[in-house]
Amino acid sequence: NVRVNCLCPGFFPAEQNRKILSQDRITDIMRHTPMDRFGDPAELIGATLLLLSRTAGSFITGEAIYVDGGFTSMTI
């Protein structure tokens, strides 16, 4: 009865990355993100609750769930 899944967040503003993101890098990230914005940490809650749920997530295992505004769906 062990389930192993991965929550893969995209770009979320945080104190750790605010200082290292140049304006050029931010522009590149936005250009590559269909939702054209950074994520809000609250937007991770739904996916987290899904994976934690004994009913909704009970048959999910071996999955990587991306919460990244479509970033990984874009081709380079």
- Residue 76 is predicted with a pLDDT of 62
Task: Write down the pTM of the prediction.
Answer: 0.84
Is the per-residue pLDDT at 75 higher than 80? Answer: no
Task: Tell me the domain boundaries of the chain.
Answer: 6-73
CA–CA dist 48, 32 (Å, integer): 24
**Please, which residues have CB within 8 angstroms of residue 49's CB and are 6 or more apart in sequence?**
56
User: pLDDT digit string (tens) for 8-53?
Assistant: 999 998 888 888 899 999 999 999 999 999 999 999 999 999 999 9
Neighbour tally for 44: CB within 10 Å: 16
